[in-house]
Structure 1
């Protein structure tokens, strides 16, 4: 996300200090036009020193640690570091913001398929998020934590849909091509997607307009898995996904994967378009998938 956001901010004349967890990426951030610093988001002193040195007008909280092979069966274990960054890391950033007089914070949240599993298939910001599948409860609690904390601090929370685009699509395409991403049940669960560049542009608007509250940052077409997964496979030159019954998928892939595939709820972007004036380059995942995989 940072690799797409920093150039947009720099192009609009902003001075950006970008953080990384190690020196290996400092040169990359500098090439993108940012002043680069090493910061440990889980160390209060490191965060406080970095924010004090940068003296920013605003802070964008994009800290995650979602790396390595996806593990939907053990989501809370896979997301363990990100869970800490969304709880402890959020606390450290907000404390540093208060200590240095930073008046505006924008934070990353998620709105891919985690709307409350009752009622319609497409949710607004007024609808609650789902408590989460059994193997992702801690992760879902961390999402609610960052949202509550940032809104309480009068900041903006951007619920990005399932991100795709440069650097984010490869991990999804590999299992699709290997037929390791089957369609579970009827594939009736809905998903909301957003291209990285569109997510970045929404973030720029939220910063420049000093937006407050929660915004769903998703494309115009929430869709059931039975539509987007075969389409993605076709664009990737893969065979049509296999179909696996729910009873078999649950012990193999875990509760989160089955929930996403069969009960997931998508999201509406009407508020972000209306209040931020957000315009999408990729209004549909169909266009985005086709361009990414051309």
Structure 2
């Protein structure tokens, strides 16, 4: 197939493009910087410079590529676009990604309709943001937590927008867990080594992880199977921060993380960080394994952290 990857130079795009090429697909991938075009051509794709927030730029890129499917991987979470992660001011830090998940998604869908692209796959998110009621592990039938009243609300509302409009168009939304792998978790590991990533309270909040290569493999399957609907792309072991964070520190060769009370974490890092560490809900991958026939190579972050950080 002719596959159009919007956001080809992101941490996932760089793992996805070669997997698509290796399966025999003709890939056009976008970047916002002409200086990065060589990265994409080196991965086997045709490189296109595109501004995902400019409808004309998106329309022209899709028209010229004539794809069978569009894969939306555009985010703005890099240091260049958003600066260092800032959970206390999550709403400010997330502005570039929020815009790409609202305006950018709408531009890509409009271009798909205008140029006869019949399939659409978009990036979602399923780490700690399950609805904070009931059990600790959520399925695709459970709505995402909109985090109303917190600095994360705009980001969660943007994720809801992606799901609403992509599903209405008959496409698929892949709710990826927290990425780790080449270039994906370096900032977290740096904080852990500096002992600046503490456990909060009892650290009972759950999260879900996925290795970049496993996320890319699931995306390839969604493309080839013309999948529709929502899929949680996470590993087999959702777990509380009290388990994964000390283990990540151990694998990084760092001292055990400090533990701080909720009130201090709220003061220093904000309400979103407290929710994430104490109330977060993880996700089940049963549907993706059943319907996409996806089997993650790294079934648990325990294996992945050990292999990737030691």
Q: Is 1:225 matched with 2:241?
A: yes
TM-score, structure 1 as length reference: 0.99
How do residues 153-172 of structure 1 correspond to structure 2 at under 5 angstroms? 153-172=169-188
- 3-state DSSP class of the match of 2:30? strand
Q: Is 1:258 matched with 2:274?
A: yes
Q: Residue 78 of structure 1 is aligned with which of 93, 108, 114? A: 93
Gaps in structure 1 of 5+ consecutive residues: none
Residues matched between the structures, number: 294
Q: Is 1:138 matched with 2:149?
A: no
Return the alpha-carbon distance in structure 1 between the equivalents of residues 49 and 165 of structure 2.
24
For each residue in 1:1-40, what CA deviation from the matched residue of structure 2 results, as whole angstroms up to 9, or x when unmatched?
Answer: 1000000000000000000001011000000000000000
For each residue in 1:248-290, what CA deviation from the matched residue of structure 2 results, as whole angstroms up to 9, or x when unmatched?
Answer: 1101101111000000000000000000000111000000000
Of 226-235 and 126-135, deviating more is 126-135
Partner of 1:109: 124
Q: CA deviation at 1:147?
A: 0.7
For each residue in 1:167-213, what CA deviation from the matched residue of structure 2 results, as whole angstroms up to 9, or x when unmatched?
Answer: 11211100000000000000000000000000000000000000000
Return the alpha-carbon distance in structure 2 between the equivalents of residues 10 and 132 of structure 1.
38
Return the alpha-carbon distance in structure 2 between the equivalents of residues 90 and 19 of structure 1.
14
Return the alpha-carbon distance in structure 1 between the equivalents of residues 16 and 214 of structure 2.
10
Partner of 2:32: 21
Of 26-35 and 167-176, deviating more is 167-176
Q: Residue 142 of structure 2 is aligned with which of 112, 127, 149? A: 127
Gaps in structure 2 of 5+ consecutive residues: 1-11
Partner of 2:8: none
Return the alpha-carbon distance in structure 2 between the equivalents of residues 104 and 67 of structure 1.
27
Return the alpha-carbon distance in structure 1 between the equivalents of residues 301 and 253 of structure 2.
17
Q: CA deviation at 1:72?
A: 1.0
Q: Residue 60 of structure 1 is aligned with which of 71, 79, 82? A: 71
Return the alpha-carbon distance in structure 2 between the equivalents of residues 160 and 76 of structure 1.
20
Q: CA deviation at 1:78?
A: 0.8
Partner of 1:208: 224
TM-score, structure 2 as length reference: 0.94
Structure 1 moving runs of 4+ over 2 Å: none
Return the alpha-carbon distance in structure 2 between the equivalents of residues 167 and 241 of structure 1.
22
Return the alpha-carbon distance in structure 2 between the equivalents of residues 15 and 203 of structure 1.
15
- 3-state DSSP class of the match of 1:207? helix
Partner of 2:22: 11
Q: Once superposed, what is the RMSD of the aligned Cα atoms? A: 0.6
